[in-house]
Structure 1
Amino acid sequence: MRGWARSLAVLLLILVPAAADAAAKKAREPAKAFERAESVLKWINGYRGEPEPAKLPAAVRAMGEYGLLRELDQAGLQVGFIAGVLATNPDDAARLIAQMFPMPPEDQVILIKAIAFSGLPNWKAVLSAFAERMPARQVLIDKYLFGDGKTLFELPLDEGSFVLDSHWGYYFGSGSEAAVGRIVSALAWMSEGDSVDRLTIAAMAKWTLASNATRDKDLLDTLKGQMNVQESDVARRHLREVILAAETFETAKIRRDAVAAIDQLKARGPESARNYAWWGQAGQTVLALGCVAASAMGQVQLGIPCVVGGAVSTAALKYLAPTTP
């Protein structure tokens, strides 16, 4: 009897960890609903029309598997989207986050920022509750809990494309008019003559607002409402151009203006030379100057893949290139 009991104990020691490993491996596998990176991005793009928050954990795991979370500065769309979904599902936020684990340490940065960016009234308590599952990221967690870590709407828009991407992602996940309002406010920098970064952000904002509004009536209505909210005359003037371009499906002029702005900056001398690499990246990944946004999934024009729904994510550009059957 003792020998049988000992054998059973050994068997359990072998089988239980094996079962746990198998369960963890299964949890890390991309859900069948997201068999490709394009599937994840398409789901994000259509989420506002058909919200399915229960799919968020599977989507986040798929993002990690397909490399959509690999580079933080290129993952603003994903961070903002996760934050937006959590923000609009406060009662289920903790459960949704729990289902995202196990999560590789390199992807946990995205989740930490998404929790903070969600703006949930108890986001610090939520983040603290999951700190033990992310020991490798304790320094970043402490920065948000006790330091100077900023939430989404506290981040300056001129910090780079990641911030603008995150606002678009937040809108895709929540339909937030506040996120749209912040993007619109960047149009005030269209007359910026000294800061290359601010003019870049303004051009990004203008192009993506027009591109998205051509396919999103709710967004277009929100933009019309922003005409009565924005205080800057410059922002309102450029917002009128965005609305007209969206209503007439004539966004080419905005793209041409962006190209002209880039050409002017290239000719300005030392300041634009210092920022030339930044502009080059923006021209290819964010403004998509050679791209004609034709559908939710996008298509290649002039060899440059379109962004999902006109969003400004570098990752979207990278993974939305059509694949051959």
Structure 2
Amino acid sequence: MRYAAFLTATLLLITPAQAAVSPEVDPHASLGVVQQWIYNYRAKPDYAHVPAAVRVLFHAQTFKEPENAGIYLGFIAGAIGSNPAKAEQLVNSFFPVPPEDEWVIVRAIAFSGLPDWRNLLRRVAPRMPGRKVMIDSYLAGTLPTLANIPLEDAKPGMFDRLRGAFTKNPFAKDDKKLKMAQTFAGNQDLLDTLWGYYFATGSHLPILRIMEMLPWSKSRDTIDKLTVGSMARYTLASYAVRDAGLREFLRSELPNQPEAIKLPLGEVIEAADTVQLGSVRKDALAAVDELKTKGSDSRRNLDFWGQVGVGAVALGCVSAAALGQVAVGIPCVIGGSASQGLLSFWEKQQ
């Protein structure tokens, strides 16, 4: 009761927006309260206070480091997609948005899952002229929506490799280009985004996507896949401990999954049922140690060793929360890096 009264008082410090009317933000509004409100939102949706909560997120500079803001981005996207009839009104209520944070609105609309998200983005585009390139890229399909981001890069087939071997000039200098294509294997913040979407909607679609990453927890191919897979397994177990509905859903899906998913999913369910998260953490630590000792299954050259290190195994925003950084299970260090080394972080938990 005391928490509910405090939450209501805090959110009421910010007048909920109606259409395009801007709410006033109290500079003393607590980000921690909003984080806890987000975590509990799916159990008791409070759509009327979403604009107020989002204003606190902007005011607290939550999106200063985009790679650490995935959970909040996912929550906003889920809120937009959860009520198509009021989606445009909700988006308009976020304005004015700091110019440096306008990308959040663009991406949240694209990630919302709304059938008509393109037209909604076109209608609000004039309010964000500085993000024209990003908006046009989403509308043209050169930037993918959350549902269209692949799990990992497609591996070239045998004929593709042979063609490359015979057509490439062996004396030509390699010009390495910056990799811009997004995959879940290479962008840990996307795992956080899926969790944020789940918190906003209670939908099992993001959970099914997270389950697809579980085989990577057994991978010894790349450090990226091992990290994301390990965090997918740990966060599923950690949140399932506190979420009976999630636990039951995971149990119901177990018989339907292929063997590659069934084994780690069974471990998730057992860890959640028996509240033995330490076992999951220790297994991930052992896997990292094995990679450091033996190297990759697919390549064991000097290039690989450059990937392996405490700094290379970054810990995402929601992942840090699941490991106990915040009591409510919502992450983020505002104004600093929330990506700590997975190895060093877990070692501190021992």
* Shorter-chain TM-score above 0.5: yes
Report the equivalent of 1:274: 307
Report the equivalent of 1:250: 276
Q: Measure, in 1, the Cα distance between the counterparts of 2:219 and 2:147.
A: 22
Q: Measure, in 2, the Cα distance between the counterparts of 1:43 and 1:69.
A: 18
CA deviation string 1:3-22 (max 9, x = no partner):
xxxxxxxxxxxxxxxxxxxx
Report the equivalent of 2:206: 179
Change beyond 3 A, Cα 1:30–1:277: farther
Report the equivalent of 1:48: 42
Change beyond 3 A, Cα 1:134–1:292: closer
Report the equivalent of 1:80: 74
Percent identity, please: 37
2:98 corresponds to 1:65: no
Contact 2:223 2:313 in 1 (8 A): no
> How far apart are residue 144 of structure 1 and its match?
0.5
Q: How many residues align?
A: 278
- Say which SS state the counterpart of residue 158 (structure 1) adopts: coil
Change beyond 3 A, Cα 1:71–1:236: same
> How far apart are residue 190 of structure 1 and its match?
2.2
> How far apart are residue 272 of structure 1 and its match?
4.2
Contact 1:76 1:313 in 2 (8 A): no
Contact 2:237 2:272 in 1 (8 A): yes
One-letter identity of the residue aligned with 2:102? Q
Contact 1:185 1:230 in 2 (8 A): no
> How far apart are residue 27 of structure 1 and its match?
3.6
> How far apart are residue 70 of structure 1 and its match?
1.1
Contact 1:30 1:62 in 2 (8 A): yes
2:131 corresponds to 1:137: yes
Structure with higher helix content: 1
Change beyond 3 A, Cα 1:126–1:288: closer
The alignment yields a C-alpha RMSD, in angstroms, of 2.6
Structure 2 spans left out of the alignment, 5+ residues:
1-20, 151-183, 296-301, 339-350
> How far apart are residue 141 of structure 1 and its match?
0.4
Contact 1:41 1:316 in 2 (8 A): no
CA deviation string 1:76-104 (max 9, x = no partner):
10111111111111111100110100001
Q: Measure, in 1, the Cα distance between the counterparts of 2:138 and 2:29.
A: 34
Contact 1:158 1:198 in 2 (8 A): yes
Contact 2:81 2:113 in 1 (8 A): yes
Change beyond 3 A, Cα 1:272–1:187: farther
- Say which SS state the counterpart of residue 136 (structure 1) adopts: helix
Q: Measure, in 1, the Cα distance between the counterparts of 2:65 and 2:238.
A: 25
- Say which SS state the counterpart of residue 30 (structure 1) adopts: coil
Q: Measure, in 2, the Cα distance between the counterparts of 1:41 and 1:79.
A: 13
